[in-house]
Amino acid sequence: MLEGRLWGGAMMVWVLAWRWVVPMGESAIGVNWGTVSFHKLKPSTVVDLLKDNKIPKVKVFEAEPEVLKPLMGSGIQVMLGIPNDMLALLGTSPTAADLWLRQNVSAYIGKHGADIRYIAVGNEPFLTSYNGEFQNLVMPAILNLQQSLVKANLASYIKLVVPCNADAYESSLPSQGAFRPELTQIMTQLVQFLNSNDAPFVVNIYPFLSLYDNKDFPQDYAFFEGTTHPVTDGNNVYTNAFDGNYDTLVAALTKLGYGEMPIIIGEIGWPSDGAIGANISAAKVFNQGLLSHVLNNKGTPLRPGAPPMDIYLFSLLDEGAKSILPGGFERHWGIFSFDGQAKYPLDLGLGNKELKNAKNVQYLPPRWCVASPSIDAQNVANHVRIACTVADCTTLGYGGSCNGIGEKGNISYAFNSYYQLQMQDSRSCNFDGLGMITFRDPSVGDCRFLVGVTDTDSSSVSQTRYQWWVLLPFLIIIQITSSFTL
């Protein structure tokens, strides 16, 4: 115990000293780094991509060792996520909270370590579609984790936050914003906790989803180039959905007595494929408009001259294995494609005028699986169905970039997606003799037939989670036994 305390104290002295070098609270542009992908770049390649683009902040959704290790010594500030399905355990067991912090935070920080600034407790746990499933689990988890931070001498440096979806509050006009009635009590507790620990309120705002879910939503109001449908709220006029949404949150916080609380945008972006309105052009216009809007420091009508503390774009890379229950666009939020290649020119305001591509990407050989010239389309439907159930075919959907390549093109795209996912195993291009391998790129216009990348780290996440869940019950039993012997 004494050795652990000495190490913790020494580490904290270094951390506090380092804070003078890297001041907290400066406004910055960050990105969300999700890893739900069939074709994963090496994490070290992704960290180099962040550094080459001078991106100073990153938000990750789980404590994955293969992600955290390359971030060590990078100088990139990290917001580290905890999934919703862990909230119950962390809220009921202080031992679990201590163990989680020890394994996933303390193990990676220190001199030349990862610069973890925030721990995101849950991910949109108050989302209406969850029907209150996680609502009462958030504060117990936060309180236990806070005590764990205190015991580790990290509470003054690492802040706990809760990323909330914008549906946590509601109003017909921004100035009348209020949290949903069933959330008033929990939100009061949350913002009191955040305020007492100098932590910001984190919110995810998606104008694209407003447009996608509501056919009557004015399209130009989702962007930043002016609108024919402005929202007039007293003396304030709103010309874009972001400002209106943001100020609705400001008003909701004001009603709870915390109108000056700092706000971080945890997720915001525009997908580039997979649905009507999701395309390269719209994504570029939205993201560049957002960045220019925020970086001009004009703020919003309710917070003039005070833009959000930080904004984390959603997202860094496409994630081709995400659920498409909300829509095919879910797999196409990246400003980079899955292989780290920039989709469009974008000035992040960080020194580079355009995005720089990932370097040294290890691709599979340049070959593709396509439909045989003599294919019988009537006998192929089941094969296409199976291929697209396993692989990603969302670009073939209505509004997608590959929607217009014809029936045979659709079949070839499905076959190739499956073939690349199987690491180009020649047997995976058989399809009962309906497929064939070609060395000629079958891409058509904006429809890109991908070539996979090699992935050497696919097993590490599952192995780490296995160790965590196996070890935890034994530690809890030991704690209970110790309490009885005392």
Reported as a single tens digit per residue, the pLDDT across 126-184 is 999 999 999 999 999 999 999 999 999 999 999 999 999 999 999 999 999 999 999 99
Q: Is 204 a domain residue?
A: yes
Residue 469's pLDDT band (cuts 50, 70, 90): very low
| Cα atoms in the 13 Å half-sphere on the side-chain side of 276 | 7
| Cα atoms in the 13 Å half-sphere on the side-chain side of 44 | 6
* Whether residue 308 sits in one domain with residue 193: yes
Q: Residue 199 class from Cβ within 10 Å (0-12 exposed, 13-18 middle, 19+ buried)?
A: buried
Q: Over 60: is that where the pLDDT of 470 sits?
A: no
Q: Is 348 a domain residue?
A: no
Q: What pTM, to 2 d.p., does this model score?
A: 0.89
* Whether residue 38 sits in one domain with residue 139: yes
* Whether residue 389 sits in one domain with residue 332: no
**Distance between CA atoms of residues 125 and 137, nearest Å:** 9
**Tally of domains in the chain:** 2
* Whether residue 401 sits in one domain with residue 312: no
Q: Is 13 a domain residue?
A: no
Q: Over 60: is that where the pLDDT of 463 sits?
A: no
**Distance between CA atoms of residues 213 and 218, nearest Å:** 12
Q: Is 22 a domain residue?
A: no
Structure confidence by residue, pLDDT tens digits, 397-452: 999 999 999 999 999 999 999 999 999 999 999 999 999 999 999 999 999 999 99
Q: Is 321 a domain residue?
A: yes
Residue 456's pLDDT band (cuts 50, 70, 90): low
Backbone dihedral angles phi then psi of residue 103, each to the nearest 5 degrees:
-75, -35
Q: Is 55 a domain residue?
A: yes
* Whether residue 215 sits in one domain with residue 148: yes
* Whether residue 381 sits in one domain with residue 236: no
* Whether residue 310 sits in one domain with residue 434: no
Instruction: Answer yes or no: are the C-beta atoms of 295 and 340 closer than 8 Å.
Output: no
Overall residue count recorded for the chain in this entry: 486
**pLDDT for the residue numbered 28:** 87
* Whether residue 436 sits in one domain with residue 381: yes
**Distance between CA atoms of residues 235 and 9, nearest Å:** 53
* Whether residue 406 sits in one domain with residue 308: no
Give me the CATH number covering residue 328. Answer: 3.20.20.80
**pLDDT for the residue numbered 54:** 97
H/E run at residue 303: strand 303-304
**Distance between CA atoms of residues 145 and 93, nearest Å:** 10
Q: Which domain holds residue 77?
A: 28-336
* Whether residue 450 sits in one domain with residue 304: no
Residues labelled catalytic: 124, 267
Q: Is 484 a domain residue?
A: no
- Close Cβ partners of 112 (under 8 Å, ≥ 6 residues apart): 72, 73
Q: Over 50: is that where the pLDDT of 4 sits?
A: no
Residue 10's pLDDT band (cuts 50, 70, 90): very low
**Distance between CA atoms of residues 201 and 252, nearest Å:** 12
Q: Is 345 a domain residue?
A: no
Residue 80's pLDDT band (cuts 50, 70, 90): very high
